[in-house]
Structure 1
Amino acid sequence: MTASLYDSLLEPDAQRTQFGAGEIPVAVYGLGKMGLPLASVYAEHTGNVTGVDIDETVVERINVGDCHVQGEPGLPALVESLVADGSLTATTDAATAAADAVLHVVMVPTLIDDRNNPDLSAVKAAVDEIAAGLAPGDTVIFESTLPPRATTDVLRPRLAEESGLAGDCFGVAVCPERTSSGRALADIRGTHPKVVGGVDDESGRVAELVYGELVDNDIVRVADATTAEAVKVFEGLYRDVNIALANDLARLTGELGVDVRAAIDAANTQPYCDIHTPGPGVGGHCIPYYPYFVLNWLDGQPATLATARSVNDAMPRFVVDRVAEGLAVTRAASIADGGVSMADDRSDATPAPDEVLDGATVAVLGLTYRAGVEETRASPGIDICANLAARGASVLAADPLVDAEGLTATDVPAEELPDHAPDAVVLATAHEAFEALDWTALPPTVVVDGRDVLDLTGTDHRLYTVGRGWQ
């Protein structure tokens, strides 16, 4: 028996019973690293979920109980059990899934084009598939992160137009994911309160009811769908701006002559202060992109957001500048040791930073944006590699999770780094595997630590830590 949640005459308790009994078929569109965990949580509560993805290989693997998403504790076993008991199936046939479902959950990404404009093409494609099977009483929930007003101005009208239904006979809500890679199941189940907002009161009520069954945490129902969209975007904007502040302060380390990280830690003992941590840049599929959901979507142009983006985008170059600075000093010291006076010929004694990078061998440790996460989107490590190569360096890249395919860098296992005797090393991502690197096996080298994890005491390396300076 198929039931409906939107505009139903049943009492909420009866609807909850139907939802838990699988009488409300669910389709989840997008089975990537966040979509598959979400579909799995829905399936463990309802026993009646169809996951939709355009990738045939992904669908085939899921349908034999094989989880293609790596690095998510508990997910492989959960997928295997849900597929085995029929609670979760996968398909590339979105039209059939949409026709069979009553609750449609969209978890495809909002992209950014080459001009940093929000690109809703993937979400629109899912909307068109849903619209082909949309029926009165259905509800569409967007978990995708969306630019504010995208649902009311673009997606809901498109659903109505493509389905031929009046906009008030189906529900639409925004319930943005608040999930991090590596802890998806825990986050979906309720690490954080769940924010929900509907395009109308009934849509908001349905979203609140559904997630009240899925989430072991508070449900924060906001005024409308646009507010829900804004909440998710604002979270990312706060972090981007705060990290930019930390990075700007880190740039003052040399001039101030203080350990900026220590100063930040002390400042944060005041309860009204929460300065984030400086680093080599900001990566991932969220924070670097959300500012453009405002800057290149709305008419207003908040100067703070644009400035923060420029600061954080500049950090990979700042890191490379420190490499060049260290090599220049090392080269100058070598010249001085060879009998050349620093005062004799300044251009020879102290090479220009860009010149000293030309022909140098520099190893970059870490190509993913975060330790332990197989995600390279907007990764500072990749930008550091590109900047080094553009300035004439020969770049080696080591990462236990991904390779350097498509980069101007040569893959080198971290344990083999001493064999290549690099002139400099940059730690861009603090993968646990790098803890085993034998720094004493490397010849004296310039090392730039973007993550404040290295202790090279007792070695001859010249260490610069972002936020602490030269040590």
Structure 2
Amino acid sequence: MNKICVIGLGYIGLPTSVMFANNGLHVHGVDVNAEAVGKIRNKQLHIEENGLQERLNAAIDSGNLTVSTTPEKADVFIIAVPSPINPDKTADMKYVEAATKSIIPFLEKGNLVVLESTVPPRTVEDVMMPILKTSGLEIGTELLVSHSPERVIPGRVFEELVNNSRIVGGINEESAEKTRDLYRAFVKGEIFLTDATTAEMVKVIENTYRDVNIAFANELAKISENIGINVWEAIKLANHHPRVNIHLPGPGVGGHCIAVDPWFLVELQPETAKIIHLARQTNDSMPLYVANKVKAIAEKHQINNPKVAVLGLAFKANIDDMRESPSTEVIHYLKELNIELTAFDPHIKEQNFAQQALKLEEALENADIVLILTEHDEFKILNPKQTAGLVRSKIVLDTKNCLPREAWTKAGFDLHVLGIAND
């Protein structure tokens, strides 16, 4: 296993490629995005991730990493492409199908194919295997196949690639063992072997658990507002119990995994996955809840045509990833309510909205309500006195509970926090 061909050079494929390359293997990375390929070839990043730049530089300079828009022959093929959902909440497997088809002309006897993308259970068996059989190679002997889903979070990808435990599901024992040996190039965590469908289920379970937990927290936030308590304090105290681990509420759930993967189970077993379905609906309803809360705050302050400064477009703090971000939905609903807005995110360089400001000061200027949707470090250290000099009305809605309440109220702001009842 001296040469690896990685299909997909996004948030998972590129870090995985540089990890293998910097551990002595030759990696050929492939992506259909020619612009991204060109940037990587010139040691420029098209995604943001801590530690990626220096690792990419080392991989390119060593000669161990090459990139292009077409695959090459290799010993191992790793597929790390998106697996989104369609508007009707069904799994969209076109990227996995296309990636699998793209490697068929390059497959040879003895190759290993690894799917890293998070997918609905039975994708390897029902989607990939029929395509791989067209290679003419006997599956399980001449061509080994497995699923080893990534289990990392943006911002800590390299730390978690190395130290997290890993699940490897093979279509047979030899496939699983060979995949385990491959990832031992850099994985220090324990590697657990199972079958492909169980591995697919494990990854979906992990993200669905978190989605259901967040939905519970969001329900608690609404209840707390109605009965006059602070949900953040209540959750913190409850989590001191040794067998309780409640997540935190927020304006919705984003990211390519948690907001997507539970739908795989709903589609697979709609009559059985009722709690999972309800949790998805609960979390998907939060952007509208936040938009309506903005409207109610404006009405409380008798502001007829409020201007809102939306701070945070990424789905998570200190990253540039907007996939499935609830911020985009909040903005959509604010527009439906005919509320004027500007939006700003220090980590998002591309213009995604006509109302997107290039500088924080531009977004805050003459705003009536400052709406915090992402807890970027840059927002946590905002100076309330300086902010007061830019805004028109001193009102804040903090959906992440990331601002120091005393400092902001001392500066004259009416600070509203999701999950805390205001007098």
TM-score calculated relative to the size of structure 2: 0.93
Q: Deviations over 1:368-394 (max 9, x none)?
A: 111211111221222111111101111
Q: In structure 2, give the amino acid aligned to 1:374.
A: D
Taking the aligned partners of 1:410 and 1:111, their CA distance within structure 2 comes to: 25
Instruction: Quickly say closer, same or farther: Cα 1:139–1:242, change in 2 above 3 A.
Output: same
Q: Which residue of 2 aligns with 1:335?
A: none
**Structure 1: which 5+ residue stretches go unaligned?**
1-18, 332-355
Q: CA deviation at 1:404?
A: 8.0
Q: Which residue of 2 aligns with 1:426?
A: 371
Q: CA deviation at 1:135?
A: 1.6
Kept after mapping to 2: 8 A contact 1:29/1:105: yes
Q: CA deviation at 1:320?
A: 1.8
Kept after mapping to 2: 8 A contact 1:62/1:68: yes
Q: Which residue of 2 aligns with 1:397?
A: 343
Instruction: Quickly say closer, same or farther: Cα 1:91–1:44, change in 2 above 3 A.
Output: same
Taking the aligned partners of 1:299 and 1:282, their CA distance within structure 2 comes to: 21
Q: Deviations over 1:94-122 (max 9, x none)?
A: 2xx1xx20111111111212222111111
Q: Which residue of 1 aligns with 2:417?
A: 465
Q: Which residue of 1 aligns with 2:36?
A: 58
Q: In structure 2, give the amino acid aligned to 1:81.
A: A
Q: Deviations over 1:191-242 (max 9, x none)?
A: x1011110111111111222233201111112x0001111111111001000
Kept after mapping to 2: 8 A contact 1:397/1:404: no
**Structure 2: which 5+ residue stretches go unaligned?**
none
Q: CA deviation at 1:92?
A: 1.5
Taking the aligned partners of 2:54 and 2:103, their CA distance within structure 1 comes to: 29
Taking the aligned partners of 1:122 and 1:144, their CA distance within structure 2 comes to: 10
Q: CA deviation at 1:419?
A: 3.2
Q: CA deviation at 1:60?
A: 2.6
Q: In structure 1, give the amino acid aligned to 2:277.
A: A
Instruction: Quickly say closer, same or farther: Cα 1:447–1:74, change in 2 above 3 A.
Output: closer
- 1:193-342 correspondence runs (5 A): 193-222=165-194, 224-298=195-269, 300-331=271-302
Kept after mapping to 2: 8 A contact 1:194/1:219: yes
Instruction: Quickly say closer, same or farther: Cα 1:60–1:409, change in 2 above 3 A.
Output: closer
Q: Which has the larger radius of gyration?
A: 1
Kept after mapping to 2: 8 A contact 1:49/1:89: yes
Taking the aligned partners of 1:439 and 1:79, their CA distance within structure 2 comes to: 38
Paired residues in the alignment total 415
Q: In structure 1, give the amino acid aligned to 2:178.
A: V
- 1:65-144 correspondence runs (5 A): 66-94=43-71, 97=72, 100-144=73-117
Taking the aligned partners of 1:218 and 1:241, their CA distance within structure 2 comes to: 27
Q: In structure 1, give the amino acid aligned to 2:284.
A: D
Q: Which residue of 2 aligns with 1:413?
A: 359
Instruction: Quickly say closer, same or farther: Cα 1:433–1:128, change in 2 above 3 A.
Output: same
Q: Deviations over 1:350-378 (max 9, x none)?
A: xxxxxx66x32111111111121111122
Secondary structure in 2 aligned to 1:118?
A: coil
TM-score calculated relative to the size of structure 1: 0.84
Taking the aligned partners of 1:448 and 1:328, their CA distance within structure 2 comes to: 14
Secondary structure in 1 aligned to 2:288?
A: helix
Instruction: Quickly say closer, same or farther: Cα 1:299–1:396, change in 2 above 3 A.
Output: closer
Instruction: Give the alignment partner of residue 388 of structure 2, picking from 440, 444, 455.
Output: 440
Q: CA deviation at 1:432?
A: 2.1
Taking the aligned partners of 2:52 and 2:394, their CA distance within structure 1 comes to: 42
Q: CA deviation at 1:132?
A: 1.6
Q: CA deviation at 1:85?
A: 2.0
